[in-house]
Structure 1
Amino acid sequence: MPAATTKPQPQVTIIGAGPAGLMAAEVLAQGGATVTVYDAMASAGRKFLMAGRGGLNLTHSEPLPQFLTRYREAMPKLSAAIEAFPPDALRAWSEALGQPTFVGSSGRVFPQSFKASPLLRAWLRRLDSMGVQLKLRHRWIGWDESGHLLFQTPNGQRGVNVTATVLALGGASWPRLGSDGTWAEILPAKGVKISRLRPANCGFTVAWSDIFRDRFEGQPLKGVTLSFGSHRVRGEAIITRTGIEGGAIYALSADLREAVSSSGQAPLRLGLRPDLETGDLIARLSAPRGKQSVSNWLRKAAQLSPVGIGLLQEAAMRTGVQLSSLSSEYLAALINAVPITLNGTAPIARAISTAGGISFDELDPDFMIRRLPGIFAAGEMLDWEAPTGGYLLQASFATGAAAGRGVLQWLKKRMANSE
């Protein structure tokens, strides 16, 4: 009687060792595939670690229906993946790795350690125990003449023949951490439609006066409101040498970016004392100024910070008026609606994330690229964007898991067809 033969395990390659790629690797390894993860950098999860420098915001605790709306136009394309691996599942996954989470006052979810490195180390140990191999300093540069994946390594080019591939190379922000967007030049050669990569959750440029820029660069604006059109957010911002950035700016960045792109500028309104009723603010500003300078008077009467007063002076200078000549009513209105004209976006290399990417029309429901059978894509490579607050990482994890499941389904069908 002939000896039974063991079928070889399918070989699956993941390109990109960030959250999407590593999650795809975990799902695939659990499903019985032999998995190798390739990354151009010398270590895994470089941008993930950077995201955790100020406290790793894994996801958000708001109800899932509201959560999904944060993905705007991409919501219908991402909903199934996120519903299959929702925020609660991500929190349970983190806890299983020895990193329990907590909900902050803003509803954001963080590991109790508040760091990315313990979570990443535990995750890499788990993947190693599952047989996942990690090949570092391997930069994907396309395919060779035989259709094999082609990598640039320290020892020259190397071709790799695999059964299936998950592309999880990230966007184009923070390229020094590995996500340089070069894939956006490789895939169109194969007929894959790519929406132009653009900065998301980014800062903007402003034509500050030399005096304002030199004095207030790096100064924070705390507890302010930012308004653009019908959108209004409360938060913080930071004055930069070339403009303005920060959490409140990022929350509006998609609409601001499109306005700048279409008309060359975006009119932003900044509220310096949003907690004060207009009548109360007018009463404070109606008190006699006496011999006080305008700056001292505004600091005492309206409790404005030096940078806030500087913004008022910038606005007055551009309209050719003196703050001291304004009525209490007009000045109160100005304090809570300081005009700032944004005239450009900060470079994509400094953005938190990237808009644009592989069009969802190019993907089947399992995240396989239709034109490239056996090639799947996940994470920030896809054409979606979301605000900060945990939404970016949640969708990266969820689409990585979805792509992993998609590969397993594709392999199962392929095996069935070959029998």
Structure 2
Amino acid sequence: MIEPIVEPSTLPVIIIGAGPAGLFAAEFLAKAGHKVHVFDGMASVGRKFLLAGRGGLNLTHSEALAEFKPRYGASKDWAETWLDAFTPDDLKAWAEDLGQALFVGSSGRVFPRSLKASPLLRAWLRRLQDLGVTITTGARWTGFSDAGAAQFSHQDGSTSEQVGAATLLALGGASWPKLGADGAWTNLLGKLGVGITPLEASNVGVHAAWTETLKAGFGGAIIKNAEVRLGDARSRGDLVITNTGLEGGPIYALSPVLRAALKTDYCQIQIDLRPDVDIEALAQRLVKAKAGQSISTALKSHLKLAPPAIALMREATGNKLPTTAMGLARLIKSIPIELTGLAGLERAISTAGGINQDAVNQQLMLTACPGVFVAGEMLNWDAPTGGYLLQACFSSAQHAAKGIDAWVRPAAN
């Protein structure tokens, strides 16, 4: 039996949010034959996507999918469905099809050769225009009418409503709110009975009560290839000393355990300045220091420790460094730093929390709002930096777009 061809609805699919998830869903749906109308509250699209480009635009990671999936921690099983259907290789092929040559960095991260987001975004917007996608900027979503129409307030003070065959919400989390993702949607959806875990900063720096001496001399300094430990969790990379604490890959990677620990009365991390050298070997090198040589000189000449690393050792000991080789070696392997809090959402790379898994069906449609789908960082998943954030935004967007296509076509039959 030949199945009848089902045409898309004459009503457009409404997409609210013109970040990576919203734009990718728009592309998928337009290619499937749907009319697509994208709305965004900012004056231009992809603001945070362009910000990511300042760091080179880490699109995804080159590691095998079996190693990629566990990066999502407690959300692994949820994200796995999206990732299987739109893999890192698929994302790379998509970017290259837009004319963006890619390369794999030494850490396995994947970047455009231009190390910018703007060329990719321009090519992407041209494709969407060719596909007939309509984009309206300066239109802030304010909720749904009683009849289910999406409501907007515009920058000129006017308001409008848009009826759609289905709606996709892709409004992001709440990090870098000045770029548009301010988390205001949590109140709107919460009133509709959608289960939401409060948004919290992720992939963000931590606060420590530094002395003025450290801030004045080493604010902004980098400590190369250090390992950060908190309990059994550990991560290695470059640390940045800020005026308020620490930033960098190792701190960001430990975001989930740091958030949990900082909700207790006391949180202390341990920093290993030489993770590839054991204590005994460090002590043996220091024993060779010349008589009368200062501790700082010995640390520089025999262990190649840079001034910021030595400054951190002094900070942790109240400027009273151990005087024995073994004591110094132990400190180098485990510098105790008490943390006082997380940096705010305004500087976070991403957010944890969001719409709970049990608040959507398998197609990412809100069970409390039939016909309304969700993708990207609005969903309650968390991932480290390294390409995992953008990958899940793209993958979840395609998954939700497939759900919309399946939802709309039967209604048109």
**Which category of TM-score, normalised to the shorter sequence, fits these structures?**
over 0.9
Partner Cα distance (1:330, 1:244) in 2: 24
Partner Cα distance (2:249, 2:294) in 1: 33
Deviation at 1:257, TM superposition (A): 1.1
Q: Indicate the percent of aligned positions where both proteins have the same amino acid.
A: 48
State whether residues 11 and 163 of structure 2, in contact with CA within 8 Å, keep that contact through their aligned partners in structure 1: no
* Deviations 1:7-34 (CA, angstroms, capped at 9, x unpaired): 8623111001011001110111111111
Partner Cα distance (1:326, 1:291) in 2: 12
Provide the alpha-carbon RMSD of the alignment. 1.6
* Deviations 1:137-156 (CA, angstroms, capped at 9, x unpaired): 11111123443211110231
1:338 maps to amino acid:
I
Alignment of structure 1 residues 105-254 onto 2, 5 Å: 105-155=106-156, 156-254=158-256
- What TM-score do you get using the length of structure 1 for normalisation? 0.94
Q: Are residues 1:287 and 2:288 paired?
A: yes
Partner Cα distance (2:265, 2:136) in 1: 44
2:320 maps to amino acid:
Q
State whether residues 174 and 350 of structure 2, in contact with CA within 8 Å, keep that contact through their aligned partners in structure 1: yes
Deviation at 1:288, TM superposition (A): 4.4
Choose the corresponding residue for 1:344, options 341, 344, 349: 341
> SS in structure 2 opposite 1:269?
strand
1:366 maps to amino acid:
Q
* Deviations 1:70-118 (CA, angstroms, capped at 9, x unpaired): 1111111111111000011111111111113222221111122221111
> SS in structure 2 opposite 1:110?
strand
> SS in structure 2 opposite 1:339?
strand
Q: 1:164 to 1:292 in 2, by over 3 A?
A: same
Deviates more, 1:155-164 or 1:135-144: 155-164
Partner Cα distance (2:315, 2:257) in 1: 24
Partner Cα distance (2:334, 2:164) in 1: 58
Partner Cα distance (1:265, 1:79) in 2: 35
Unpaired segments of 5 or more residues in structure 1?
1-5
What is the count of residue pairs matched by the alignment? 406
Deviates more, 1:75-84 or 1:276-285: 276-285
Q: Find the counterpart in structure 2 of residue 353 from structure 1.
A: 350
Unpaired segments of 5 or more residues in structure 2?
1-6
Deviation at 1:53, TM superposition (A): 0.9
Deviates more, 1:266-275 or 1:372-381: 266-275
* Deviations 1:251-292 (CA, angstroms, capped at 9, x unpaired): 11111111112x133221111122334333112211345333
2:267 maps to amino acid:
A
State whether residues 74 and 384 of structure 1, in contact with CA within 8 Å, keep that contact through their aligned partners in structure 2: yes
Deviates more, 1:181-190 or 1:271-280: 271-280
Deviation at 1:63, TM superposition (A): 1.1
Q: Find the counterpart in structure 2 of residue 371 from structure 1.
A: 368
Alignment of structure 1 residues 262-277 onto 2, 5 Å: 263-277=264-278
Partner Cα distance (1:227, 1:8) in 2: 54
Partner Cα distance (1:322, 1:181) in 2: 46
State whether residues 91 and 100 of structure 1, in contact with CA within 8 Å, keep that contact through their aligned partners in structure 2: no
> SS in structure 2 opposite 1:139?
strand
Alignment of structure 1 residues 71-82 onto 2, 5 Å: 71-82=72-83
- What TM-score do you get using the length of structure 2 for normalisation? 0.95
Q: Find the counterpart in structure 2 of residue 27 from structure 1.
A: 28
